[in-house]
Structure 1
């Protein structure tokens, strides 16, 4: 038997429900199959099924009596998929003399098995060994099925079967064309691509991040972030590092120690928690003792001018530097008259308090080398620093990095003051505040820049505006659902004593009343969203340590 050469073109034509066409039926003059159609297709109806088989005769070489594997196309009305069958076929091959033809001699109705995707008309397999490959170039036997054809489109009359692997190229070509069409449409309409495909844009790259350390700085909207984290921990049944015993802070204003956390001593040195977010002064080696290695570290900063004003009002009766001065403007006009460094920790709220919360010396001179070194240290320790003045944008970015749902980061403002307890600094007072809190000012400037650079890297301007709008709209929806009058209330107006926030200094801290008549599930969700931080922390403590005495919140009993 002569040696068969490898075909240059494996495509062929096959008309559904008919006998082979002229090119499949008869060789060209001189005893050779047409070079453009080295594979012949057989089309023949067998009962209610159509059997497809293929045989290869290259340049006149004769193949006869071969066993072929064909493919049955079951009509759609039968509800079956394409299946692989074995077909007995005796053919005369492509003989040197005219009259070559291919014929089928057996039914394929009884041996259908292994559902396949639609397969085109007898597309030939690859050469070589293995399932779906031609055993030799001489023996063009379809042994083991048409693996190369799986997933190809169904036969179209008069259309050549794709080459092996062509279905993948077709798929990617179609996908590329769709992508180009979307880009073209976006360019014409000036629309962000992410807005055209929100489902693709919102898909997370993996599961939500559940190991989180939030450094809760003071008077920076951190109580609202704390509520977000507490809710997430409770919803997902995560462990939270809470103050031990009757304490409400994790050792603040002293540097954090692992032993300040409830359960660490009983659990041993290997005890780890999912969430750490209560007030503490950052001490990385001790924090790492209670948090896993893959923890996501973040914090929040606020313009130190406004942060200092809030601290002055809130800690007026607590901080020695603020007690004996009438206003913040008066304090900033002559700070050293009131500020005594020897009082140390108790005066931390009066100067560079965010710098202090990060574990640094808040009275250090703002020398360039020292400041740069500390800023680099913060960058190494924290994956993200939020900006309070851009809270909604901060939540959009945080949600993206943590791969959380929208409702996970929607929150009402907590521990905020009524407008009448907010004071305004003069222009000169604002400049003095920047100078007095020079370390905080440098910290804020630096990470305000990095925050916006990170946002620009993660989201286009249009996409950012869209996601911020979604966040705000969802907040409005929840406010209508949960809140009475959809507005915060002062302490005297809050009817549920358990939802009254702690009051401090001259600040008038606001809270919320819930709408009456909420069903149990909605009521539980809404209560979580408006629960002040001390009450929520005590609630989690009871859930996490049911055998220990509950925390006593004295002001609720007064």
Structure 2
């Protein structure tokens, strides 16, 4: 792989060097002959020459578009709740960690998520600095990857904090199954209905009662003793920035849907994760090895089946999420239609690799007594690749933040207001976090 990339890099450099020499020679000859050469004509000539020469040389060197494209390393991944998003996050954590990339994490919350405090252009004092940048040198704070939980509002803050021109992606899950998992995971009976339930199975027994008159309950509940609120409906659209107060207004839902479509380069679908990852691989110019994964953070091994009346009530209560999911499910399959003739072959290749890795690495699954989630048990003497694929996001978070260092007392000083605020170049200061 390294040899192939070096060959590709040398070929691309040769193409551009040849183009520049040819263009300069041509321009000089024309000027010596006294032929006027407007700047617009020069640029047009250069563009045409580059395109033609690059195509011919690439053909001669047997290079494809995939050989010439540059792998994406600047990514904004909006991590939605209970959608298989943790499995996808481990792909980005592994990719970024192996390449020494910088992640946008806050040290004020567990696992680096932005939940309690919104992410703003003035958030630098509460985040781990990029790799190799001292804490406090805010003007140098440019990150490669954002992959934690947050509420997405628009691209402005990410375009400011993420290096280059990042690609934006997220993932959605079929709304009924997503809401069932969301209802159980966030303890809806306890938080919304004030009913004690001791297990996920027992909590689901109250789903029908909740959906009988869901509007009787508060629109959101506090998560623990922190000022973090969870919505009681349309949680996927909520994560993507649709306020609870706008979820019943068709015009607001349509406007938010259009904004997401304009902002995001790819929306993955949980039920078609392998197909989605192939699109990601192609859009990002990644290798097949970059999108390998093991499923993580699974609460119910085989999903949950509901009677049809509850399915319909769940869809009705989460109607905005249904619109969101159906729209981007159609979009996914349109994108698959543009993939090219190798799609089925590539899909079989990916699934074969995943099957082989599961057989090679995983001995079985056990249910974690504390989290009640299913986790993989690796075989004895599992390879480094097996260990990396099975590593959870917390483990990666620890490894990554060891490279993005903060002073030991940074969090305490921030709480006491002893950390300097971030200032724009024009001298304006943001609100204290």
TM-score scaled to structure 2, two decimals?
0.70
**Other-structure match for 1:536:** 396
**Other-structure match for 1:278:** 148
**Other-structure match for 2:218:** 339
Aligned residues: 336
Q: 1:151-170, aligned counterparts within 5 Å? A: none
CA contact (8 A) 2:129 2:406 kept: no
Task: Return the alpha-carbon distance in structure 2 between the equivalents of residues 531 and 353 of structure 1.
Answer: 27
Query: SS state of the match for residue 267, structure 2?
Result: strand
Q: 1:27-66, aligned counterparts within 5 Å? A: none
User: Which is higher, the Rg of structure 1 or of structure 2?
Assistant: 1
Query: SS state of the match for residue 111, structure 2?
Result: coil
CA contact (8 A) 2:115 2:228 kept: no
Q: Is 1:288 the equivalent of 2:169?
A: no
Query: SS state of the match for residue 386, structure 1?
Result: strand
Task: Return the alpha-carbon distance in structure 1 between the equivalents of residues 95 and 290 of structure 2.
Answer: 6
Higher relative contact order (CA 8 A, sep 6+): 2
CA shift in 2, pair 1:517/1:309, >3 Å:
same
The alpha-carbon deviation at position 247 of structure 1 amounts to: 3.3
Query: Structure 1 unaligned runs (5+)?
Result: 1-171, 176-198, 493-501, 552-558
Task: Return the alpha-carbon distance in structure 1 between the equivalents of residues 216 and 91 of structure 2.
Answer: 40
Task: Return the alpha-carbon distance in structure 1 between the equivalents of residues 148 and 233 of structure 2.
Answer: 21
CA shift in 2, pair 1:393/1:370, >3 Å:
same
The alpha-carbon deviation at position 244 of structure 1 amounts to: 1.8
> Which residue, out of 419, 429, 446, partners 2:301?
419
CA shift in 2, pair 1:443/1:483, >3 Å:
same
Task: Return the alpha-carbon distance in structure 2 between the equivalents of residues 449 and 319 of structure 1.
Answer: 36
CA contact (8 A) 2:192 2:221 kept: no
Task: Return the alpha-carbon distance in structure 1 between the equivalents of residues 193 and 178 of structure 2.
Answer: 14
Task: Return the alpha-carbon distance in structure 2 between the equivalents of residues 447 and 219 of structure 1.
Answer: 17
Instruction: Tell me the alpha carbon deviations over residues 358-385 of structure 1, each in whole angstroms, 9 at most, x when there is no partner.
Output: 1220342433322221111111211111
Q: Is 1:458 the equivalent of 2:339?
A: yes
Q: Is 1:476 the equivalent of 2:358?
A: no
Task: Return the alpha-carbon distance in structure 2 between the equivalents of residues 447 and 322 of structure 1.
Answer: 33
Q: Is 1:514 the equivalent of 2:378?
A: yes
Flag the structure with higher helix content. 2
Query: Structure 2 unaligned runs (5+)?
Result: 1-55, 196-202, 412-433
CA shift in 2, pair 1:247/1:491, >3 Å:
closer
CA shift in 2, pair 1:275/1:549, >3 Å:
farther
The alpha-carbon deviation at position 342 of structure 1 amounts to: 8.0
Task: Return the alpha-carbon distance in structure 2 between the equivalents of residues 470 and 361 of structure 1.
Answer: 41
CA contact (8 A) 1:253 1:281 kept: no
The alpha-carbon deviation at position 280 of structure 1 amounts to: 1.1
CA contact (8 A) 2:231 2:244 kept: no
CA shift in 2, pair 1:256/1:359, >3 Å:
farther
**Other-structure match for 1:361:** 243
The alpha-carbon deviation at position 281 of structure 1 amounts to: 1.2
The alpha-carbon deviation at position 328 of structure 1 amounts to: 1.5
Q: 1:204-243, aligned counterparts within 5 Å? A: 204-243=67-106
Task: Return the alpha-carbon distance in structure 2 between the equivalents of residues 246 and 355 of structure 1.
Answer: 23
**Other-structure match for 2:178:** 307
Task: Return the alpha-carbon distance in structure 1 between the equivalents of residues 410 and 138 of structure 2.
Answer: 22
**Other-structure match for 1:490:** 367
CA shift in 2, pair 1:305/1:342, >3 Å:
closer
Task: Return the alpha-carbon distance in structure 1 between the equivalents of residues 274 and 237 of structure 2.
Answer: 24
Instruction: Tell me the alpha carbon deviations over residues 427-468 of structure 1, each in whole angstroms, 9 at most, x when there is no partner.
Output: 1111111111111111111111111111111234xx322211
> Which residue, out of 110, 114, 129, partners 1:263?
129
CA shift in 2, pair 1:315/1:550, >3 Å:
farther
CA contact (8 A) 2:78 2:147 kept: yes
The alpha-carbon deviation at position 206 of structure 1 amounts to: 1.2
**Other-structure match for 1:443:** 324
CA contact (8 A) 1:482 1:515 kept: yes
The alpha-carbon deviation at position 262 of structure 1 amounts to: 1.7
CA contact (8 A) 1:243 1:262 kept: yes
CA shift in 2, pair 1:227/1:550, >3 Å:
farther
Instruction: Tell me the alpha carbon deviations over residues 94-135 of structure 1, each in whole angstroms, 9 at most, x when there is no partner.
Output: xxxxxxxxxxxxxxxxxxxxxxxxxxxxxxxxxxxxxxxxxx
The alpha-carbon deviation at position 319 of structure 1 amounts to: 6.8
Task: Return the alpha-carbon distance in structure 1 between the equivalents of residues 65 and 288 of structure 2.
Answer: 10
CA contact (8 A) 1:489 1:513 kept: yes
Task: Return the alpha-carbon distance in structure 2 between the equivalents of residues 249 and 351 of structure 1.
Answer: 25
Q: Is 1:410 the equivalent of 2:281?
A: no
Query: SS state of the match for residue 304, structure 2?
Result: coil
**Other-structure match for 1:352:** 234
Query: SS state of the match for residue 77, structure 2?
Result: strand
Query: SS state of the match for residue 288, structure 1?
Result: helix
CA shift in 2, pair 1:286/1:334, >3 Å:
same
CA contact (8 A) 2:221 2:229 kept: no
CA shift in 2, pair 1:490/1:549, >3 Å:
farther
